[in-house]
Amino acid sequence: METHTLQQVTQTEIAQVFSSEFPLQMECGVQFGPIDVAYETYGTLNASSDNAILVCHALTGNAHAAGFSSNDPKTAGWWNSLIGVGKPLDTEKYFVVCSNFFGSCYGTTGSISENPKTGKPYGLDFPQMTVRDMVNVQKALIDKLGIKKIKTVIGGSLGGMQVLEWTLLFPQLVESIIPIATAAQHSPWAIALNAIARQAIMNDPAWQNGNYYNSIQPENGLSLARQIAMLSYRSEQEFAERFHRERIKVNGKDSTYRFDNENYFQSENYLRYQGKKLVNRFDANTYLYISRAMDLHDVAANRGELNDVLHTIDKPALCIGIDSDILYPVREQKQIAQYLPHSTYNEISSPYGHDAFLIEFEKVGNFVREFFKKYSL
């Protein structure tokens, strides 16, 4: 029987930031360790240790935010156009750090990691982490790297949730923030979408209550979960302009009246392709944990009323919304900006929906440059 394997993205460094003797106190009440963190750095930390920028990645992302060549997919990172010499996150000026967050499957400890007590993957024995737990793990890495100040914390989607938590948990360390296409509280709409995606995974017989690591992972369920998510990441406008009502043809014939796996609309073909891509690089249990962590995200939890909590963030903030984003619509970005005392709001006009922050690099970069110039960062 084929064993479940994961195509890992090579990370530059792995650091242990918590141990079994000195564990992380998690929000769920569990003391957990050891915890390893996969991370990459770009540029050089200055003598004052105060020129760092922290980049926070989204749901299925990783620490490989930048590479050596934007033309080589093996080395290019997911934000390659923004990080590097002369780019908005200029590595001649800043020490840029991107770490794989706690609970992911790209080198940082998560459900796919080996449980030292059993010698097997944690699976569903892994405790449910939260966005605050992710940030506390990142903070331990920042301390280990000797960073004294962070010029800005930047990220989109789940990365933006981390950004907001950073300045609330460690305001003395952060000079500014750039939350992009994100939420201060995960909405009922977003929670519902995640719930359906999790059901897709757990209803796959191959899931085996999370105990699939000696066989194959629930590929059909994970693929379907990704397809559900993709509908919220893009927009109706993009689908209409990109796919129209074009059909797939086999041997020059249109046979879409049959229910088989080779004949369907181009829009269906795109979703299936995206589902297959994720199956080849991600872990199903990890998807369950991360999506639940997003649902639990609420910066006001145990802190007070949302507007009052946001008002305590007394740092320069650049909030970026996307006009076609149906997952985290612009009204949520405007609400965040409205209650941050020193905020700037910019909006990306794009047909690409929520994913525009991973596509519209020039627009994002221009906003970042203007923000840095305005506050002399």
pLDDT in tens, 116-126: 999 999 999 99
Question: Considering 157, 176, 291, 324, which one is annotated as catalytic?
Answer: 157
Does residue 48 carry a catalytic annotation?
A: no
Domain range enclosing 274? 194-287
Instruction: Indicate whether 242 and 332 sit together in one domain.
Output: no
Instruction: Indicate whether 304 and 351 sit together in one domain.
Output: yes
CATH number, domain with residue 250 = 1.10.1740.110
Asked if residue 6 is part of any domain, the answer here is: no
Asked if residue 294 is part of any domain, the answer here is: no
d(CA 135, CA 130): 9
CATH number, domain with residue 42 = 3.40.50.1820
Instruction: Indicate whether 177 and 310 sit together in one domain.
Output: yes
Number of domain units in the chain:
2
Instruction: Indicate whether 68 and 147 sit together in one domain.
Output: yes
Average pLDDT score over residue span 33-48: 97
Asked if residue 7 is part of any domain, the answer here is: no
Instruction: Indicate whether 176 and 213 sit together in one domain.
Output: no
**Residues 160, 229, 40, CA angle at the centre, nearest 5°?**
45
For residues 132, 135, 136 and 140, what is the CA-based torsion angle, rounded to 10 degrees?
A: 180
Tell me what pLDDT residue 1 has: 34
Does residue 133 carry a catalytic annotation?
A: no
Does residue 325 carry a catalytic annotation?
A: yes
Asked if residue 143 is part of any domain, the answer here is: yes
Average pLDDT score over residue span 339-351: 98
Tell me what pLDDT residue 5 has: 41
Question: Considering 232, 324, 354, 355, which one is annotated as catalytic?
Answer: 354
Final residue of a structural domain among 287, 310, 344: 287
Instruction: Indicate whether 54 and 198 sit together in one domain.
Output: no
Instruction: Name the percent of the chain lying above pLDDT 70.
Output: 92
Tell me what pLDDT residue 247 has: 82
Instruction: Indicate whether 231 and 363 sit together in one domain.
Output: no
Please check the confidence at residue 4 and state whether its pLDDT lies above 80. Answer: no
Instruction: Indicate whether 219 and 152 sit together in one domain.
Output: no
Instruction: Indicate whether 44 and 129 sit together in one domain.
Output: yes
Instruction: Indicate whether 157 and 283 sit together in one domain.
Output: no
- CB of 153 closer than 8 Å to CB of 163: yes
**Residues 298, 300, 302, CA angle at the centre, nearest 5°?**
105
Question: Considering 36, 204, 295, 325, which one is annotated as catalytic?
Answer: 325
Instruction: Indicate whether 92 and 220 sit together in one domain.
Output: no
Please check the confidence at residue 142 and state whether its pLDDT lies above 90. Answer: yes
d(CA 340, CA 319): 10
Of 61, 357, 352, nearest in space to 234 by CA: 352
Instruction: Name the percent of the chain lying above pLDDT 90.
Output: 88
Asked if residue 109 is part of any domain, the answer here is: yes
